[in-house]
A and B are shown apart, each in its own frame.
Chain A
Amino acid sequence: MIRLLAAALALAAAPAAAETVAITGGRVVTMGPAGEMERGTVVIRDGRIVAVGADIAVPADAKTVDATGKIVTPGLVATGTALGLIEVRSVETTDDRGTAATDFSAAFDAGYGLNPDSLLIPVARLGGITRAITTPAYKDRSDRELLFAGQAAAVALDGRAMLMKRGVAMVLDMGDAGAERAGGARAAELVALRALFAEVRDYKARRAAYDRGKTRDYTLSRADMDALIPVVEGRMPLLVSVNRAADIRDALALGREERLKLILESASEGWRVAGEIAAAGVPVLLTPVENTPASFEMLGATLTNAARLAAAGVIIAIEGNGNHREREMRYNAGNAAANGLDRKAALAAITINPARIFGLADRIGSLEAGKEGDVVIWDGDPLDTLARPTAIFIRGEAQPMTSRATELRDRYLSAIPPSANGETP
C-alpha cells in the first residue's frame, strides 16, 4: 500500500505540460481502429496521445509507466450526470443543476457555473471517469412549467477549468414528466412542442422584424428561441428522456417531422421498439440496472434492454447511478454485459459511444494518435467490481489517486487495531 501511495504521489507531483509519458507493457484496449493489443504502448506528449501500438519505440525523454499485467483503456465518459453542478443534494446553495426562473428554459446553459473543485469529481474520477456530459435538471415550481431543462455541456474532470464544449444537447423530458409539465397530458406536450418549434423557425426568419417589434408575440423569451435555433436546424441534438414504447414512437415521429437530431435517454421499453430506434439512427443513453416497473411508463423495464438495443443496431451509452454514485457507471456496463451485452460493446458504451453521440469523438473516447491524453490503467477488468484503476491520466496529466473520502478513510484507518484485522471476537 505504501508502494502504491508513493507511486501515486510521484505521478501526482510530475509536471503537467510539456511532458512525455509512455505507458508500456499493458493490454491496450484502444476502442479505436487499432483494436486491442496484448502488450502495447501508449505515448502521450504535451497532453495528447501521439502513438499507440504494439511496436512503438519509447521516446528517450519519456517517463515510463509500467502497465505490465494491467489493462489500459481510454478514460471513461459519463453521461446523464451533473458533475460540476452539485455538491450536497439537500443543500440548495450547492445545487446548480437547474433554475426556477420563469423567463427562460432552453437558454439555461450547464456550461456556466461549473465547479472544478467539486468533491464529487475525484470520487467519480477514481471510477475511471475522465470526462462527463453535465446535464441540467428541471427545478420545477408550481408557478411555472418549463418544457426544456436547458443545454448540456461536455466537461473534463482533472480539476482544471472544466468546460470542453457547451451546448452539446438540449434536454427535454417526455412521457410522464413531460406531460405533467405541459399541463397533465402527453398530447399537451406534443402539441406545445410543435408550436414552439414553429415559433422558433418563424423567429429565425424574422429576427430583424422581431427587434423592431414587428412580429406576433412569441411564447418563448428571445434567449430561449436563440437557444433552440440550432435544435430546429438539426445541429444540436434534442436529448429526450422517455420510457414507454409508445412515447418513444411519439418522440421518433416528432424528430422525423421536425427534422431534429435526437438522443433518447432512459428508454426503459426501448427494446420493444429497438428496430424503429435503430432505423431512425437515434442513439440511446440508458441505466441498464433500472429494471423495476417503477412507473406505468416503465412496465417493460429489463436488465436486457442494453443488449437488445445493441443487437438491433442502436448506438448505446451506459450511464452511472447519478452524481455521487457516478463511479458505478462501469459496474452498470458490467451488469449489462452479464445480461447479454458483448463485453467490448459494454466498454464502448462508456467510452467511444458517448464521445460519438455528443460530437466529441475527434477529441476523446479512444486511444488514438491525435486525441487528448485520457488514459486509465486498471488492475483487472474495468467493468468488474473486483478491479480498480491504478493510474489515471487526463489531458496527459497523472491524476491524484485520492479523494476526500480516501483522506477521511486514512485519517481513521490507524485507529483500527491491526490485531483485530478480519477477526470476529
Chain B
Amino acid sequence: MTSTMKHLGRACIAMISLATAGAAIAAPGAPDDPFPATYRPAASGPLALVGATVLTGTGAEIADATVLIASGKIEAVGAKLPVPEGYARVDGRGKWVTPGIIDAHSHLGVYPSPATPSHEDGNEAVSPNTAEVWAEHSVWPQDPKFRLARAGGVTSLMILPGSANLFGGRSVTLKNVPSVTTQGMKFPGAPYGLKIACGENPKRVYGGKGRSPATRMGNVAGYRKAWIDAADYVRRQDRWDAGGKAGDPPKRDLQLETLAGVLRGEILVQNHCYRADEMAVMIDVAREFGFKIRAFHHANEAFKIAPLLAKEDICVATWANSWGAKMESLDGIEENAPMIDAAGGCAIIHSDDGLLVQRLNQEAGIAMTAANHAGLSISRGEAIRWVTANPAKAMGIADKVGTLEPGKMADVVLWSANPFSVYALADRVWVDGVIQWDRSDPRYQRPSDFVVGQPGQEFAR
C-alpha cells in the first residue's frame, strides 16, 4: 500500500507541473511544503462489500454490487463480482454504498464546539486582505464535530477561513480521521485553496470600522489592487529566475506568495459569493488577472446564471435549504444545485455548518426530490455526485477520491438505507480502506479528547 501511495503522490505532482508549465513552481526560498501531511493510513486487509446497492459517484447505480478494496484502494466495483480468496466479506444486502462524503465548505476545527472566543479562530478580521493566514494553523483537531461528521459519512473536508475579509487566507483539505495534530489529518497531495469573499460580509466588517471596503465597489477595488501587487510579485520572481538566480532573491511575502500561487495555477480560488451579478463580476476580475475561479460557495443565485457557470467550468457549492438571512441570500431556492447540474455544470451540496455536515446526504436528497418535482430528471446516481465527485473536483482531489473507481483511495460509506433518506445512517465508514466509524462498535467511534470525562458521554451521538 505504501508504495502505491507514493506512486499516486508522484502522479499528482506531475499533474501540477503540467498545469503550471512555464511558470516558476515555488517562490525563491519558499519550502515546497512547510507543514507537510503526516497522515499515513494504517495497514488494512483486503475487503469485499457484497450485495449492496452502490452509487459509484460516476453517475451509476449498481444493484447487488460487489466492491473490492485492497491496499487501501478501490480495486473493482461491479454487479455480483466474485470475491477473491482472502478478502474479508461485509454483508451489504439491503444496504447502500457510496464514496465517502466530501464537504467542500467546512469550518470544523476553526469554529469548534464548544463555541468560545478561546478557540474561535476562523476569521482574521483585522484587515481586508489576510491572504497570508492559513486555516490549518487555526484548526483544533479535538473539535468534537469531526467525529460527528464521521458518523455522517464524511471522509474529507475543506476547512476554510471565514468570510469577513476579501482575502480570508488559505484553506486546508483534511481526511476525517482522528488525530492529535492537524498535519495528521492533512490530505496528502491536496492543493491549497484561497478563500475570497464577495458581498455583504467584508463591506459590513470594514465599513463598520470606518475603512475600505464599505461598498461592493470597494470590495472589487480591493481585489484588483491585491492582484496587481501579486502580478508584480510574480514578475519580480520570474525575472530573478530568468536571470540565472543571480544575486539576492526577492524577499518572500506570505500574503503575496498565496496570491501568486493562484496566478500560477497552484492554489484554487474558493469564492464566497451569493449574488449572480457579483459572480459575473468576479469572473471578469479573474479574467483580467489571468486566473481561474474554482468554485463559488453559497451562491444562492447561481441558478440565474447556470449556463454561464457551466461554460466557465466553475463549480457551485450551495445548500438546498438555507436562504434569507441576508439580502444577498434572499433568492435562495431548493433547486439551485440541481439546476446547475441540469445545465451541465458542477453542482455541490456543502454544509458551512456543524449540524448540516452530518447530513449532507439528506440535503442532497432534498434538492434531488425538489428538482424532480419541478420537472428536472435527476437520478440518485447523479445526485450523489453533489456530495462526492463534484466537491472532490472543486478541491482538486478528484484524481484521488470522490468516486468508487479502481485505483482511488478507498473512502467508502456503508449506509443502512437509501442514503438520500432521513432514515439512512452510516453503519460503517472506511478511509483509505481503514475502518474509522462503526455504528455498532465503540472501538470505531473514537470521541475527541474534549468530551472524554465530560458529563453525558455514555452513548454514541
Give A contacts to B, CB under 8 Å: 1, 4, 87-91, 119-120, 245, 269, 271-272, 289-296, 298-304, 321, 323-325, 327-328, 331, 334-335, 337-339, 383-388, 405-406, 408-410, 412-413, 415-417, 420-425
Pick from B43-51, B168-176, B318-326 the stretch touching chain A: B318-326
Cβ–Cβ contact B461 & A385, under 8 A: no
- B339: chain A residues within 8 A (beta carbon): 409, 412-413, 416
Cβ–Cβ contact B422 & A384, under 8 A: yes
Give the docked Cα–Cα distance between A424 and B398 (Å). 15
Cβ–Cβ contact B324 & A89, under 8 A: yes
Asked if B136 is at the interface of the complex by the 8 Å CB criterion, the answer is no
Give the docked Cα–Cα distance between A91 and B325 (Å). 9
- B327: chain A residues within 8 A (beta carbon): 88, 90-91
Cβ–Cβ contact A294 & B115, under 8 A: yes
Cβ–Cβ contact B423 & A88, under 8 A: no
Inter-chain pairs besides A289-B355, A408-B303, A415-B306, 4 sampled, C-beta below 8 Å: A295-B114, A300-B456, A325-B321, A386-B369
Asked if B377 is at the interface of the complex by the 8 Å CB criterion, the answer is yes
Beyond A120-B324, A299-B456, A304-B459, whether A292 also contacts B421 by CB under 8 A is: no
Cβ–Cβ contact A386 & B450, under 8 A: no
Cβ–Cβ contact B114 & A424, under 8 A: no
Candidates A4, A119, A245; contact of B455 at CB < 8 Å: A245
Cβ–Cβ contact B456 & A335, under 8 A: no
Cβ–Cβ contact A416 & B342, under 8 A: yes
- A325: chain B residues within 8 A (beta carbon): 321-322
Cβ–Cβ contact A269 & B456, under 8 A: yes
Main secondary structure of the interface of A (DSSP, over half): loop
Question: How many A-B contacts at CB < 8 Å in the complex?
Answer: 173
Pick from B88-96, B245-253, B264-272, B329-337 the stretch touching chain A: B329-337
Cβ–Cβ contact A424 & B322, under 8 A: no
Among A337, A386, A417, which residue has the most Cβ atoms of chain B within 10 A?
Answer: A386
Give the docked Cα–Cα distance between A138 and B289 (Å). 47
Asked if B433 is at the interface of the complex by the 8 Å CB criterion, the answer is no
Pick from B31-39, B159-167, B178-186, B358-366 the stretch touching chain A: B358-366
Give the docked Cα–Cα distance between A339 and B342 (Å). 34
Asked if B432 is at the interface of the complex by the 8 Å CB criterion, the answer is no
Of the four ranges (under 10, 10 to 19, 20 to 34, 35 or more), the interface on chain B belongs to 35 or more
Candidates B113, B382, B423; contact of A292 at CB < 8 Å: B113
- The closest CB in chain A to the CB of B303 belongs to A412
Asked if B412 is at the interface of the complex by the 8 Å CB criterion, the answer is no
- B424: chain A residues within 8 A (beta carbon): 338
- A405: chain B residues within 8 A (beta carbon): 323, 331-334
Q: Nearest Cβ distance between residue B119 and chain A, in whole angstroms? A: 13
Beyond A292-B144, A405-B332, A415-B307, whether A324 also contacts B325 by CB under 8 A is: yes
Asked if B418 is at the interface of the complex by the 8 Å CB criterion, the answer is yes
Cβ–Cβ contact B370 & A302, under 8 A: no
Asked if B285 is at the interface of the complex by the 8 Å CB criterion, the answer is no
Cβ–Cβ contact B455 & A292, under 8 A: no
Candidates B115, B365, B369, B451; contact of A299 at CB < 8 Å: B451
19 A-B pairs with CB atoms under 8 Å apart are A88-B325, A88-B327, A119-B324, A289-B355, A294-B115, A299-B455, A325-B321, A331-B366, A337-B423, A385-B369, A385-B422, A386-B365, A388-B373, A405-B331, A409-B374, A412-B339, A420-B342, A421-B377, A424-B59
- A331: chain B residues within 8 A (beta carbon): 362, 366, 422
Cβ–Cβ contact B369 & A302, under 8 A: no
Encode contact with A along B107-136: 1 for CB under 8 Å, 0 otherwise: 000000111000000000000000000000
Asked if B226 is at the interface of the complex by the 8 Å CB criterion, the answer is no
Asked if B5 is at the interface of the complex by the 8 Å CB criterion, the answer is no
Give the docked Cα–Cα distance between A328 and B320 (Å). 10
- B335: chain A residues within 8 A (beta carbon): 409, 413
Q: Nearest Cβ distance between residue B102 and chain A, in whole angstroms? A: 17
Cβ–Cβ contact B362 & A385, under 8 A: yes
Give the docked Cα–Cα distance between A261 and B325 (Å). 34
Asked if B457 is at the interface of the complex by the 8 Å CB criterion, the answer is yes
Asked if B379 is at the interface of the complex by the 8 Å CB criterion, the answer is yes
- B326: chain A residues within 8 A (beta carbon): 88-90
Beyond A406-B333, A416-B306, A421-B376, whether A88 also contacts B324 by CB under 8 A is: yes
3 smallest beta-carbon distances between A and B, as pairs: A300-B456, A334-B422, A1-B375
- The closest CB in chain B to the CB of A405 belongs to B333
Asked if B454 is at the interface of the complex by the 8 Å CB criterion, the answer is yes
Give the docked Cα–Cα distance between A409 and B339 (Å). 9
Cβ–Cβ contact A293 & B343, under 8 A: no
Cβ–Cβ contact A422 & B333, under 8 A: no
- B310: chain A residues within 8 A (beta carbon): 420, 425
Candidates B144, B362, B375; contact of A293 at CB < 8 Å: B144
- B332: chain A residues within 8 A (beta carbon): 405
Asked if B420 is at the interface of the complex by the 8 Å CB criterion, the answer is yes
Give the docked Cα–Cα distance between A214 and B254 (Å). 73
Give the docked Cα–Cα distance between A335 and B382 (Å). 24
Give the docked Cα–Cα distance between A273 and B107 (Å). 32
Q: Nearest Cβ distance between residue A294 and chain B, in whole angstroms? A: 5
Q: Nearest Cβ distance between residue A1 and chain B, in whole angstroms? A: 4
- A87: chain B residues within 8 A (beta carbon): 324
- The closest CB in chain A to the CB of B376 belongs to A421
Cβ–Cβ contact B355 & A338, under 8 A: no
Cβ–Cβ contact B362 & A422, under 8 A: no
Cβ–Cβ contact B451 & A292, under 8 A: no
Q: Nearest Cβ distance between residue B349 and chain A, in whole angstroms? A: 12
